Structure 1
């Protein structure tokens, strides 16, 4: 899924319109993904290696069969060194197969537990919020709307001026509309609709003052 110039224009216009009605500031960020999840592939490799070792422990005849095809089949007893070498090589090969089976980004994300994906999207959103929104407005009325495309997850984080007056569940409808649109392949429409709903909440609790200034950028930021 890619955002077009029309998507950027649509979201930017929605932010500008929302901020005409409120002293709140909305920052929109879209990222392809929030993490590379390389550790998930490594964990898959470790799991594959441990599984092979467990199978060799349960069925030692496998290692004996391999040894007879690599060394003297008439030997009465295979050496422990040979059996350990077979186990090591088998585990190493299993690790590599497990690791590189998840070389594709989509597969790594698919095999990542949902709770892990949620935590990493949230962590990325918090990092961006602290660097681009937090305490960057006079009345601490900034909001970050963050979308991570590959995970189909979104986060909304509000600065302390808003968080103190608006409970987190208030944003539920806006976030649900955004995620639903993303699943339909309409990320731009979803972001614009979420911004509109967030703007409605901000206009209710933080109406725009006569001397209000635009303190944060309106444009959609794509990472």
Structure 2
């Protein structure tokens, strides 16, 4: 869990204001601490467990005959092949249900999900924030969103079309990397400041400040 103080928020706001003074672009920073659960990842893991565990239990002597005797369903010598298959299938179904519930409420539901799945979810959330915060409504379409999902360990940098036409998306990779480095080192504030500095440098190169240079979007870090 990331806990930022008022001083931390102030430092980030100052970094945004400083960067925007050198460009006509706008920088918005958002941070999400939400714990996402990835259904497809949980079900895939649960299915794998449901496939392997009954087999391993059977090899260890806890197969259909054991459970039939334990619950008094049939005596071991009375089990037919079809009954054995039915009990084994029931073992798989029960394992699938229990594994799904256990995984759903464990860190495995998010923290160890494949990076591609986490990136896709964070990208969708970042796009929603981009539109919700009105970043696409700046006069010259030169807004940039820096969004980080703490629990997913994913950073998304989205630039509006005015920037996208002139700046390659690869320029934002360094900003994402330094922000992630700040999170991993336990100093997200410095991570944001470093990322803002890099984004501001790119914007200053391609979009120098205008004579009036209005501040069109809030400079504070927004928690979502």
- State the TM-score, normalizing by the size of structure 2: 0.85
Q: Take 1:201 and 1:43, find their aligned partners in 2: how far apart are those partners?
A: 41
Secondary structure, aligned partner of 1:36: coil
Is 1:31–1:147's contact at 8 Å kept on the other side of the alignment?
yes
Distance 1:72 1:166 in 2: 72
What whole-Å deviation, never above 9, does each CA across 1:83-110 have from its counterpart, x for those lacking one? 4552344223312331233244533223
Q: For the residues of structure 1 that align with 2:156 and 2:119, how far apart are their CA atoms?
A: 9
Do the aligned partners of residues 72 and 19 (structure 1) sit closer, same or farther apart at CA in structure 2, a change above 3 Å counting?
closer
- Are 1:95 and 2:96 counterparts? yes
Instruction: Decide whether the 8 Å contact of 1:27 with 1:133 is kept in 2.
Output: no
C-alpha distance 39-139 of structure 1, shift in aligned 2 (>3 A): same
Q: Is the 8 A contact 1:14 1:196 kept in 2?
A: yes
1:94-133, aligned counterparts within 5 Å?
94-133=95-134
Equivalent residues of 1:133, 1:143 under 8 A apart: no
User: 1:14-62 deviations in whole A, cap 9, x for unaligned?
Assistant: 1111111111011100001473324433333333223356668999992
Partner of 2:187: 186
Look up the match of 1:37. Answer: 38
Point out where structure 1 has 5 or more consecutive residues left out of the alignment: none
In structure 1, how many angstroms separate the alpha carbons of the residues matched to 2:190 and 2:113? 27
Q: Does the 8 A contact of 1:29 with 1:145 survive in 2?
A: yes
Output the CA distance in 1 between the equivalents of 2:96 and 2:215: 53
Moved >3 Å (runs of 4+):
50-61, 79-85
Q: What pairs with 1:1-223 in structure 2 (closer than 5 Å)?
A: 1-33=2-34, 35-52=36-53, 62-69=63-70, 70-73=72-75, 76-78=77-79, 82-83=83-84, 85-223=86-224
Distance 1:34 1:145 in 2: 19
Aligned to 1:110, what secondary structure does the other structure show? Answer: coil
TM-score of the superposed pair, with normalisation by structure 1: 0.85
